[in-house]
Amino acid sequence: MSEVKQKRAIEKWARFAVKCGLVLTDAKLWESIRGQLKNRVSDVSKEVKQRYDDTTDRLERAEDAYQGRRNWAAPVASFLGGVGLGVGVGLLLAPASGEQTRSRFRGKVVALKKRAGETAPENTSSQDAIPSASTGTDGD
């Protein structure tokens, strides 16, 4: 009985080998595998290129920041634009009436002007501010 089982096992392995041989020699199968591999390699290469570009950009920005060559104008302008937009939307959507909102805004601007005027250097006299022409006489 063991010979019969051994013979059947050999036949099963032989059939498996023939089936594998037929599958592996199929031209359509290989073309399909080749096409799929080509697409996968293309996808992977795009991803690798994108990550490489991102990494080099980050390194360049880090180098610029380290060496003090940081571009600060664009972020500051964006921030100030956002603040201005926020103030405008806040004024439009304020729960108070338009007259009340304008009155409060006007009062704050006046207070800001006064505070700016107080901190600005004051002139000691009007004659010091405007130079007089010399006539060549005793001060006249």
Give residues with Cβ within 8 angstroms of 104, minimum separation 6: 96
Spell out the domain ranges in the chain: 1-70, 72-117
pLDDT in tens, the chain (140 residues): 688 888 899 999 999 988 888 888 888 888 888 888 888 888 888 888 999 999 999 888 888 877 777 677 777 888 899 888 888 887 777 777 778 877 887 888 899 888 888 876 655 455 555 555 555 565 55
pTM for the model stands at 0.31
Is residue 106 within 8 A of residue 114, CB to CB? The reply is no
Specify burial of residue 42 (Cβ count, 10 A radius: 0-12, 13-18, 19+).
exposed
